[in-house]
Amino acid sequence: MNLQNTVLLFGILLITACTAKGTSSLTKVYPVQWFPVSLMAQWGGKTPIYDQEDIQALLDKPWEYPFKLINFQTQEVFSADRCSQILPDIRQIGTDLPYESRPYLYQTAMCVAAESIAKARPAQYSALSDFKLDADFPHQAPKNMTLMISLSETERVLQDDAIVSWAQAEAVKFVSKEGEYQAKYAMEGASQEISLIARGDFNHDNIEDLLLYAQAHVVGGTYTAFRLFWVTKIDVNNPITLVREYSRAY
C-alpha cells in the first residue's frame, strides 16, 4: 500500500470513528423510571409493575375501598373506586366526609402521578443525572415548593421576582433521609416530606424531568397539603424550574 492510499484509509477510519462517537452522543436515551413505593401502596402492593403499560392499567384497577364523592361543579354525588372515574374532572371532585378527605386527596395525587408516568417518554438530554434530595435541595428547588397556606403568603412568594428558590422563600432545614428517594424538611411551624416518584420526559420536549411528591403538615394543626411537582433543568448551569404542579389541601 502506497503512502497516498494509507493516508486516505486513515482519513476514512478517523471520520468513521468521529461519526460513530457523535451519533452515540446524540442518541443517548434517558429511560422513564419510577420508584413505585407510593404508587403500590394505593393498590394494596399486590400488583406487579414491569412497564408503563402496567402503570396505565393501574388507572382502572380498584382501590382498597371506594370513596363517596361529590362533583362540586355539577353537585353530582357518586361513588368511585378507581382513578379512571375521577381523572377527567379531578380538580372539582372531593368528599364531604372529613375522615375520608386525607386518604382521598392522597389517592388523587397518586392517580395524577400514575397517569403522567404512563404518558411519559424517554429523554434525549438530562441535566439532572446527579439529582439528590439532600440539604442543598431547597436551594435548588423552585419557589413553588414553598408551603403557602394563605393567599397573602402565596402572593408574597410568587409575585416577588427576587425569590427564585424554595430556600429563599422560607427558612428550610434538612431533617433526615427517609430512604433513597425520600427526605424530610422542617420549616417554621411545619414540615414537608419530599419523594422522588419518577423521572422521564413528561412534557415531551426531549429533556428529562423529575416528578416529585410533597406532603406537608402544620405542627399542632390539621392542615395537610398533597402536592405533585414536575420539575426540569435545561442545563447544568441553570436552576431547577417548575414545569407543572398539582396541589390539593385539607
Residue 174 belongs to some domain of the structure:
yes
| In a shared domain, residues 170 and 217 | yes
| In a shared domain, residues 169 and 238 | yes
| In a shared domain, residues 240 and 160 | yes
* pLDDT at residue 27 greater than cutoff 90: no
Q: Which of 119, 146, 180 is the last residue of a domain?
A: 119
Task: Supply the range of the domain harboring residue 108.
Answer: 33-119
* pLDDT tens column, 35-85: 865 565 566 566 778 899 999 999 999 998 899 999 999 999 999 999 999
- Could you give the CA distance from residue 37 to residue 23 in angstroms, rounded to a whole number? 36
Give the mean model confidence (pLDDT) for residues 29-34: 95
Q: Which candidate, 175, 157, 167, places its Cα nearest to that of 219?
A: 175
| In a shared domain, residues 158 and 225 | yes
Q: Total structural domains in the chain?
A: 2
* pLDDT tens column, 83-134: 999 999 999 999 989 899 999 999 999 999 999 999 999 999 999 999 999 9
| In a shared domain, residues 97 and 148 | no
**pTM, 2 dp:** 0.86
* pLDDT at residue 223 greater than cutoff 80: yes
- Could you give the CA distance from residue 4 to residue 2 in angstroms, rounded to a whole number? 6
Question: How many angstroms separate the Cα of 155 from the Cα of each of 117, 150, 164, 191?
Answer: 31, 9, 14, 21
| In a shared domain, residues 91 and 147 | no
- % of the chain beyond a pLDDT of 90: 74
Give one DSSP letter per residue of 139-188, joined into a string: HHSBGGGS---SHHHHHHHHT-TT--BHHHHS--EEEEE-STTEEEEEET
If residue 94 lies in a helix (H) or strand (E), which one and from where to where?
Answer: strand 93-94
* pLDDT tens column, 152-204: 999 999 999 999 999 999 999 998 998 889 999 999 999 999 999 999 999 99
| In a shared domain, residues 143 and 216 | yes
Count how many Cα atoms sit within 13 Å of the Cα of residue 159 in the half-sphere of its side chain. Answer: 6
User: In degrees, to the nearest 5, what angle opens at C-alpha 103 toward C-alphas 97 and 109?
Assistant: 120
Residue 130 belongs to some domain of the structure:
no
Residue found by looking up cell 433543568 in the block: 233
Residue 15 belongs to some domain of the structure:
no
* pLDDT at residue 1 greater than cutoff 70: no
